Structure 1
Amino acid sequence: METPSLFKRCFGEGIGTALLVLIGPGTAAFNGIITANNNESTTLADIGVISFAFAIIVMAMIYSIGRLTGCHINPAVTIALASTGHFPWKEVGPYLLAQCVGGTIGAFGIVSVLGMDGVLIGNLGATVLAPSTGYIQGIFIEAIAAFILMFVIMGVAVDSRAPKDWGGLVIGLTVGGIIMMTAGPTGASFNPARTFGPYVVDSLLGGNINWVQFPVYVIGPIMGAVAAAVLYKYIYSSEKLPLIKENSHKEIGK
């Protein structure tokens, strides 16, 4: 089977990331509108619904574009795979660009669905630190979240010995579980492109965005994902986990 061109794979990554942002942060933005209009606070049940939306779209993307792109749809995942030899470094830049562009398009998609309420009230589901969460703490929390995700990805999608056809379900549910745990303190991004898109569009359309916090959602996820990939490779180093050839790809996730 011929390997799809880099352009086609990047195009797929852009689509996947756009749909991730549209459905995931879009659900968070819609919930923000509902709670604001009803003068209510966000509950754990609300977070559960948002988590489930993320889980669904991650599973859907893995099973639909995973064969084409590997379905990274997350710069931290791409960098972590490259750092352990499972993805060619020369393709990292194009993948990251595609993911960030896709995240921005997805954020515009939220506006098309929810209108300006999605920006001014729902803030396009942009991630922010809770008032009680410090900057370094936020980086640490985001690193933990990305570590969990990447460790699972290595085990169920990258490792050739993983059970077949279960990767999408397991990774999607893992994403949902992580969001339930970390949504309160950081907004549960663990994906720089997922945060980048809403930040850009919010800024362009008059939303309330604090770009000072953006490095939290870049440094933390990359640190955590790379650490997980390196640790997994070290644990199984004696078993010689196979590397992906330069022009190959695996189904991954968020």
Structure 2
Amino acid sequence: MSGLYGSSTTQNVPRVAVAELIGTYLLVLAGTSVAVAALLDQPIAGGTADSLAIALAFGLALVALVNALGHVSGAHLNPAVTVALAATGAFPWRYVPAYLLAQLGGAVLASLTVWLTYGDAARDQASLAATLPGGGVSTLTVFVIEAVVTFFLVLVIVSVATDSRVAKGAAGLAVGFTLAVCVLVAGPLSGGAVNPARALGPMIVAGEFDGAWAYVLGPVLGAVLAAVLYARFLSRGQDPAQAEDPATSAA
């Protein structure tokens, strides 16, 4: 069975787990570092980071990581992606626990690194960029928006990372910039986690768990729906003409 970005789903578990841990660590570190800098009003190249910089930090980091680790572990870097692929039979369930633990571990280590490098202000004032509901935003709204944007992200992932008709060089850019768009869309409402590990890592280290269930269940639901939709209705199918021609089928 072939995984995302041409990776194999029959590899050594410790090997792919290490790739997922490192990849998730770097993804969460990149995005939350920029977010913490913005929250603490720290200058970046002459000016404080803004919402676009945060979204681009996550997106560009994902572009790099997909190209660097995609062939190793599939560069899921997101529990919602792993569960969605397993739910559609595109990824073995036996690998799921190792992937989830590695992804969560990478996110927690990234948050600890941000705390270490930015100091106590990063945790006490910026909550390590934990994704929390915006002012006046209900937890249900967070659940819905996280499900919607993760649906969008995973639909792009399974489209470009599993279909041989898509140019390999386009996959990383498509996935990375989709994540950036998702963060921008959901940011004002939920903080734009689009990833249970990215949400839980800072929450665990900062001790902030407001609406945590929505940041886990929303992305997982959206991801599974996207993967099922693509597998059932949008993936490459058999040419109807060939299916109806017995001679062609026999050949």
Please state which band the TM-score falls in when normalised by the shorter chain.
Answer: 0.7 to 0.9
The alignment's TM-score, normalised by the length of structure 1, stands at 0.85
| Residue 145 (1) aligns with residue 149 (2) | yes
* d(CA) in 2 for partners of 1:236, 1:34: 45
Within 5 A, what are the aligned runs for 1:157-196?
Answer: 157-196=161-200
| Residue 235 (1) aligns with residue 233 (2) | yes
1:112 deviates by: 2.2
Which residue does 1:244 correspond to in 2?
none
Query: 1:168 and 1:238, CA in 2 relative to 1: closer, same or farther beyond 3 A?
Result: closer
Which residue does 1:57 correspond to in 2?
61
| Among candidates 207, 222, 247, match of residue 220 of structure 2 | 222
Which residue does 1:29 correspond to in 2?
36
| Among candidates 19, 40, 44, match of residue 12 of structure 1 | 19
Compare relative contact order (CA 8 Å, sep 6+) and give the higher one, 1 or 2.
Answer: 1
Which has the higher mean CA deviation after the structures are superposed, 18-27 or 139-148?
A: 18-27
* d(CA) in 2 for partners of 1:237, 1:60: 26
Query: 1:20 and 1:118, CA in 2 relative to 1: closer, same or farther beyond 3 A?
Result: same
1:26 deviates by: 1.5
| Among candidates 134, 154, 158, match of residue 158 of structure 2 | 154
Which residue does 1:99 correspond to in 2?
103
1:200 deviates by: 1.1
Identity of aligned residues (%): 37
Structure exhibiting the larger radius of gyration computed from Cα positions: 2
| Residue 78 (1) aligns with residue 82 (2) | yes
The alignment's TM-score, normalised by the length of structure 2, stands at 0.86
RMSD over aligned Cα atoms: 1.9
* d(CA) in 1 for partners of 2:140, 2:204: 23
| Residue 112 (1) aligns with residue 119 (2) | no
| Among candidates 136, 140, 146, match of residue 140 of structure 2 | 136
Query: How many residue pairs get matched?
Result: 227
SS in 2 for 1:165: helix
- The one-letter code sitting in structure 1 at the alignment partner of 2:199 is T
1:109 deviates by: 1.1
SS in 2 for 1:106: helix
Query: Which structure 1 residue ranges, 4+ long, deviate > 6 Å from structure 2?
Result: none
